[in-house]
Chain A
Amino acid sequence: MSATLPLRLGTVAPEGLRAQRSGLRWLVREGQRVGAGELLGYCQLGVLPPKGGIIASPMGMERLDFGVAFSAPCAGRVRPHAGTSRGGMLDRLRAAASWEPEEVVAEIEPEAEVPPGAGALGLLFTTGLRVNPQLAMRSGLLSGWYARRRAWWGEAADGTLPPTLACLGSCDIADAIAGEEGDFREFHAEIAGPAHLVLLPEVMPVTAGVSALEAMRRTPAELEAISDGMRRAFADGPPPGAEDWLFAGSLLAALGRNPVVLDAPLLTQAGIARVARPDAILFSLIGDARTVLRHRTQGWTLALHGYRLQPDWIGPATRAWLDAAFVRQTRSFAQQAAEMAELVAALRAAIPGPVVVANQATTTGRDQLHAYAAFDAPLSEQVAAVRNRDWTLLLTELARSHGMLVLDVDAILAEMGTAAHMPDGTHPSGALQAALRQETARLLREAGLPGFAPRAA
């Protein structure tokens, strides 16, 4: 057995930048056995140029919830040092201490011999772009409400940017990528890296399908026209309340986000770089709504999961605007299929790497179907299982014609069991999420995207 290793914070701010941190929040107990790469704790982090206030942070608005988690360099028993965690707001605000790279914050008793110099903590940077800067929630790492959230390892391999995977999140895949705590720790622990994982969650409208296609093409003038229409509707209708303004603001912000435009600052030990766009994109069919609201005069599509329109979820001004300005439209399978082909082609043209689409379960366990005689043709407009099978067929054709990849949720569920792992057809178990991560990594690896090889044991 090796001697006890001191665990030092290491470098987070490359030359020319200064760093501050909060107190440390430990995820492990004194003497707990940890595996190599397992997260031990985290803190809030601030990185600034030598002169200038906090708004000079190279992280831009993502400075607000910038954090760093520490991972164990090897398996062993870890002992956090007393006094590194100070509790209260001092563990939430980054002004508690200067970041000192040589500061020893814990020690580890390795289970096996480790080479000299192996005592450096792994540093996983995390940050999120708040839906609104006012919405602060620092109860944990990435615990706020974000328009995008992301994580990457801080080691600078050879100065090149790590490949970026962006997931257009819906319930079936978003948390598979972001993990149980929403900070991507599982996915990063499973792949060799380096990789930059980004989640663009469903803040208001669904993020995939027709929403993504329109967002990629929407001009600033069109967005202004949408905003102007909402303002006029609110002025002419019932007096808007807080929930109306929140709905309007969140919706407008979401409509203005192009999923292939990231412009995201990436801090590594080598310096700050900017990631302009994702290298690969993952989304799922659940993010493509069959029934949408179509604006009567402007023609744009509002694709919301219906539950967001429950009577006690939206205000009277929003309800009046939706009723007056939109018409409900149920799209045929053919229409959705054409838009999907268009979206995949547009994404393939916009990013250099693979486009991965997750299909849906084709069985629910509730069907007892012996004949299709009772259903009108085309069956894909009537029978959910048939529509989902048609989707898988379409994705297979698009894989051939457009070079996209299919994350075959249906096949994985067939192996694992739908009732146990996706009982409502939408929300996966932790085991299924792990399987989806593993399969996503395999698809990306086989498509030639570096960083997604399995991490060595």
Chain B
Amino acid sequence: MILNLTMPPLADVEAGMSVHALHAAAGALLAPGGRLLDIRLDLAASVQHDCPPVSFHRIVVRQRVWLRRLLVTAGQEVPPWAPIGLFSTEPDEPEDGPVAGPLRVSVAMVLVDHDGA
């Protein structure tokens, strides 16, 4: 079964979302709770005050899947609902098969050392 993942809309206002860190590479088997990537959320685009509200959010998978294709790179800006990756529940399923649904994930705001804290 092929599953996809799109960028969750982390803010209800216009925001800059980019890939801060990748925790898995194409071909990796991810167990439930496995880390996929960290997103940098910058609300400065819509909240233009002096102190840019920057936060980081980790996406972890909630089901056992193989990461078949990663569609983003570290540092890349990714708008809401843009594709992040394709996953399969079996290791050798064709990637170009029909997408059965969205990958189930958890998202949590995490503490990350960065220059804009």
Give chain A's interface residues, CB within 8 Å of chain B: 171, 289-291, 305-307, 309-310, 328, 330, 364, 366-371, 373-375, 381-385, 387, 419, 423-427
Contact of B109 among A289, A305, A307, A364 (CB under 8 A): A364
A356–B50 CA distance with the chains assembled, in angstroms: 27
Interchain CB contact (< 8 A) of A374 among B8, B52, B60, B113? B60
Is B57 a contact partner of A306 (Cβ separation < 8 A)?
no
Residues of chain A contacted by B62 (CB below 8 angstroms): 370-371
With the chains together, A371 CA to B52 CA distance in Å? 29
Select which of A305, A330, A371, A381 is within 8 A of B51 by beta carbon. A305
Given A306-B115, A424-B53: A366 touches B11 (CB 8 Å cut-off) = yes
Query: Does B47 belong to the interface (CB within 8 Å)?
Result: yes
A423 touches B13 (CB 8 A): yes
Q: How large is the interface on B (under 10, 10 to 19, 20 to 34, 35 or more residues)?
A: 20 to 34
Among B3-51, those with CB < 8 Å from A are 8, 10-13, 32-35, 41, 43, 47, 49-51
Chain A's closest residue to B56 (CB) is A384
The one of B49, B52, B109, B115 in contact with A366, judged by C-beta atoms closer than 8 angstroms, is B109
Q: Which of A310, A366, A369, A382 has the most CB of B within 10 A?
A: A366
Q: In the complex, what distance in Å separates the CA atom of A330 from the CA atom of B13?
A: 30
What are 22 residue pairs bridging A and B, where the CB atoms are less than 8 Å apart in the complex?
A: A291-B113, A306-B116, A306-B117, A328-B113, A366-B41, A367-B57, A367-B109, A368-B107, A370-B62, A370-B106, A371-B32, A371-B33, A374-B58, A374-B108, A375-B58, A381-B111, A382-B110, A383-B110, A384-B111, A385-B108, A385-B109, A419-B12
B111 engages A427 (CB within 8 Å): no
B interface vs A, CB < 8 Å?
8, 10-13, 32-35, 41, 43, 47, 49-53, 55, 57-58, 60, 62, 105-111, 113-117
Chain B: minimal CB distance from A367 (Å): 5
B117 touching A366, Cβ below 8 Å = no
Taking a contact as CB atoms under 8 Å apart, the answer to whether B108 and A367 are in contact is: yes
Smallest Cβ-Cβ distance to B58: which chain A residue: A374
Q: Which of A290, A375, A424, A425 interacts with B117 by CB under 8 Å?
A: A290
Given A366-B10, A368-B8, A423-B13, A374 and B35 contact (CB-CB distance below 8 Å):
yes
Whether A373 and B111, one on each chain, are in contact in the complex, defined by CB atoms closer than 8 angstroms, is no
Name B61's closest neighbour in chain A (CB-CB): A374
Pick from A307, A310, A368, A425: contact of B106, CB under 8 Å: A368
